[in-house]
Each structure stands twice: as C-alpha cells, then as structure tokens.
Amino acid sequence: MEHPLYVIVFFSLLLGLTRCAGNMKTFPQDFEFGAATSSYQIEGAWNVDGKGWSMWDHLVRTTPEHIVDMTNGDTAAKSYFFYKRDVQMLKELGVKNYRFSISWPRILPYGRPDYVNPYGVAYYNALIDELLANGITPFVTIYHWELPQNLNEQGGWLNDEVVNWFGDYSRVLFQNFGDRVKHWMTINEPHVHCHLGYEIALIAPLISVPGVAYYECSRNILLAHARAYRIYEAEFKSTQRGEVGFVTCMEWGVAESNSTNDKDALENFQALTIGQHMNPIFSESGNFPQKLIDLVNSASIRQGLNESRLRPFTQEQIESIRGSADFLGLNHYTSRIIYRNESLNGTFPVPSIYDDTFYGDYPHPSWFFHGGYVYEYPRGFYDLLIHLKDNYNIPKIYITENGAPSLRGEGRLNDTHRVRYFREYLSAMIDAIDEGVNVRGHFAWSLMDNFEWTLGYTVRFGIYDVDMEDPERKRTPKKSALVYKEIARSRIIDYNYDADPYTPSAASGRNLSIFITLLLATLKVLL
C-alpha cells in the first residue's frame, strides 16, 4: 500500500465489518422460505361450483353472534377467484414455497368419495399448476378445520368412523394431485382444534363435553392421520415419491418459579399440549405420555368411573401411529407462564382437561402484546425447538405457521411491530438451528389478511393487506412483506437478537465466518 489513504480505508472497513458481523445471523444455504394460508379463511365462494357445506358454513349461519364482528368467510379474500394474484404475491416475496389447505367439502360435497366435485378438483388443479409454473412448491394441508357438515352431523371427530372418512378423502387428494404435490400435511393443530371445538365450544363445531370430547377428538385425529399416512405409504409413495407430515401448534411454557408445584404444573402442561400428539408419532412408545395417562386415569377413578376418560390405543393402533410422519409441521406464536397454587382450587370444571392437569397459565406482563392471543417472547421459540430436539426423534421440522396480528392503532401497511416479531423469532430460530435443531423452512402466517375464525376480521395476520371493502379485494404489501422478502433474498438477519440473553456456541462461529468472508472480499478490492 503506497498511500496512507488505503490504510485508513482498510481499517475503517475492518471496524465496520466487525460490527456488521456481530449483528448478522445467516440461514443455512438449503433453508426454505414460504407463506401460509387456509382455505376457509381466504377462498370465499362458499356455495359456488358445487361446494358443500362445512361445519363453519353452518356455524356462521346458525350462530352468527359467535363471531365477534358478526362476519364470516363466505367471501373472505376471494382467493377462489383471485388465486393468480396470490401466486404473484408469492413471486413478489421471492419465496419458493406456499402452504395452503384444500377444502374437504369443495372436493367431496357430502363428505364421502361417492361423488367427487369436478369443479373443486379443477380449482385446485389450476392453483397447483399456477404455482409450479411460477417456480413455487405447493405444501398442501389436507384438513384445516373444514369438516363437511354432513359428517359433522354424524358425530364428526367424535365418531370412530371419521378415521375411515378421512382416509378415503385423503386418497382422493393423492389420486388427483399427488403427481405434482410432493409435500402433504394431514391435519392442522389437533390440540387447538379439539380444545376449542370440543372442550370449551369456542370454534366449530361448538361442542362442549369437558374432559371427554377433547380426548376422543384427539385420539381419532391421531388415528385418522396415521390412516392417511399408511394409505400414501402403501399406495402412492413408490410412484409419487412425496412425503407426508403432521402439523401441531405448540406454545412454550415457562414455570413461574422453581417450586415443586410449578415444575410439576409445567410437566403437566407439556404432557397435554405437546406430548399428547408428539409422543404417539415421534417417540418409541407410540403412545400417549405416561404422565397424561396417569393423570386422567387417577382423576377418572376419583370421579367414580370404571375406566379412564382417555381411551387407550390397541397395540395395532400404536404400531400404525408410531413413525407416521416424514416431518413435523410446527405452528408457533407465543408462550405462557405456568403455575400451580391454592388459588386454582375449585376453579376448574369436573371433569375437564383443566382439572386433570391442574395448572394455571398467563402471559408475563413484560411480554409485548400484539393483539389476539400473541404475546412476544422469542426465547420461548428457541426453548421449544431445543425441547423437541432433545425429546423426540423428528426427521425434520418445517415452521408451518409463525406470525403476529395487527396492533390496533398502527397503520395497516406500516406494521413495524410485526417486522420486529419476525426478526426476533427468526433470529431465535437460527440460534436453535445452530444448536442442532433440524429446521428446514419457515412459512410466514399469513400471506394475506383473512377471516380469523371467531375473531372475524378484527385482527389481521397478513403480510399483505387485503381491502375487504373492495370488490376486487386489492392486495398491498405491508412493511413486513418487504422485510420478509429481503430476509429471504439475502438469507441474513442484520439484527442482534438480545431480547433474552443466551449465547449458543455455534452462533458466534457463524458470525465469524461472515466476518472472514467479508474481510477477504475487502482485501481483494484494496490490493
């Protein structure tokens, strides 16, 4: 270097690169990005082209007051008509994957394969072909809470026959779309679906038989999932060469204190909300967690019953369920503080899943509240992923839903709170990957504003704004869409995750590699 100016420039860049490397986290080269939706929440066209009634179509007509803003999904974002615009949005984002669900009653209006609706098949064929033509891989959810009303009236998820109904429906989808769809997810969020739909009657089908219906629903969902998996394995996998996964939604629990009561409460929380659906598929036992089996059995005996309300699996059923997933689809939004003290005495219905597990929960007051049910605690995401790695034999994980709703009072497009949420949660996820968690991809929830079940349109999770007053349902990218696009493009988060201090060993190594790469590039320019 002949001139002092070169020295000054070199050391200035060196200082800047050091700071930059310290604030960067990178994704693995094969990591995939995508966005997610579900059929009832975006499609509309509730009675168009031969579609049958779902239990949600029935709910919004018979008890419209159950939706907080008295709205419904009859029209929603009109994706049935504007699916090509949806695909354009995915291209604008630069993501290569789209998770969407297929409406059971749009394909089988009466629930059974006696009649397959050709218009429903044509719609999903058109959507899948449009995705593939634009270089976007479809990840298809077979069931996202749209049970045909005809089957709901026959007992739905409380009728053991639903296992065969779901298997037959899944076979129709494999036959019609499996030549192009290589990533299937059977059933979305069994704990949420059974808890809100069959324990406390918050969502369709509005059934409340506490301590009984929830367990029956969960049991049948696991058996139905396994039925679909084994059908694909036996009849389609050798020719279609796809994979079938299972989707759960998990909150992370943090014990309020180190007391024996609180730690035991946390174990009960994990057995119910995580282990109940993870253990049968991903553990060697192939069965419910022993902790949960013992809790429900003891409570049932206290209540004078001759057998447990948690009906056991047969050995044949255990063998069918065990190992019945090629990947885990993990939906995660928030965490809870878990506790147990005398204030809980006498507060739970008997029987109920709350009385069985006997824990209380609440969000920590320091966690930022986004609205709906989402409290921001990214450390919980990291801890959950580490817990799954340490406790289960999971082939691979896709984060199939993760996001935050709109904050009241904030501009619809300038969603800075959601930007922070994504950066912090993605940063926590990278730290878990650096610790050996096999996370292969992340799907932002949601691609666009949609009908948020009983919350109607009062909260919006979309990274694209949808003008619900516009007949054309104009879609406009929010700030979060632009930031997510840049993260997917650069594969870097230029943000130092420090919401809760911890230092996984591999993270610093990865940042060092970034620094060395940038330093060598700088030397090449200067010399």
CA dihedral 22, 28, 32, 33 (to 10 degrees): 0
Phi, psi of 460 (to 5 degrees): -130, 120
**Catalytic residue (choose from 267, 376, 401, 452):** 401
Strand segments, DSSP code E, in 319-358 are: 328-331, 335-339
Q: What is the dihedral of CA 467, 470, 471, 477, to 10 degrees?
A: -40
Query: Nearest 5°: phi and psi at 245?
Result: -120, 180
- The residues, any chain, with a CB within 8 Å of residue 98's CB and separated by 6 or more, are 34, 35, 36, 37, 87, 90, 131, 136, 137, 138, 139, 447
Question: Look-up: residue for tokens 């009728």?
Answer: 159
Torsion of CA 193, 197, 201, 203, to 10 degrees: 80
Q: Verify cis geometry, omega within 30 degrees of 0, for the bond prior to 504.
A: no
Q: Which residues are paired to 187 by β-bridges?
A: 143
Q: Residue 446: is the preceding peptide bond cis (ω within 30°)?
A: yes
Q: Would you state the structure tokens that stand for residue 320, as one six-digit string? A: 């069918």
Contact 451, 40 (CB under 8 A): yes
Rounded Cα–Cα distance for residues 236 and 228 (Å): 11
Pairwise CA distance, residues 353 & 269, whole Å:
10
Q: Active-site residue among 32, 43, 146, 189?
A: 189
Query: Cα–Cα distances in Å, from 280 out to 65, 275, 415?
Result: 38, 8, 40
- Rounded Cα distance between 361 and 20, Å, is 39
Q: Is the peptide bond before 351 cis (omega within 30 degrees of 0)?
A: yes
Q: In DSSP terms, which residues pair with 330 in a beta bridge? A: 248, 399
Judge whether 68 and 458 are in contact, CB under 8 Å. yes
**Which residue shows structure tokens 């420090």?**
498
Q: Return the closest-CA partner of residue 128 out of 98, 167, 93, 160.
A: 98
Q: Which residues pair with 53 in a beta bridge?
A: none
189 as an active site residue: the answer is yes
| Degrees to nearest 5, angle at CA 322 with 100 and 220 | 60
| Burial (CB count <10 Å: 0-12, 13-18, 19+), residue 23 | middle
CB 97 within 8 A of CB 184: no
Q: Which residues are catalytic?
A: 189, 401
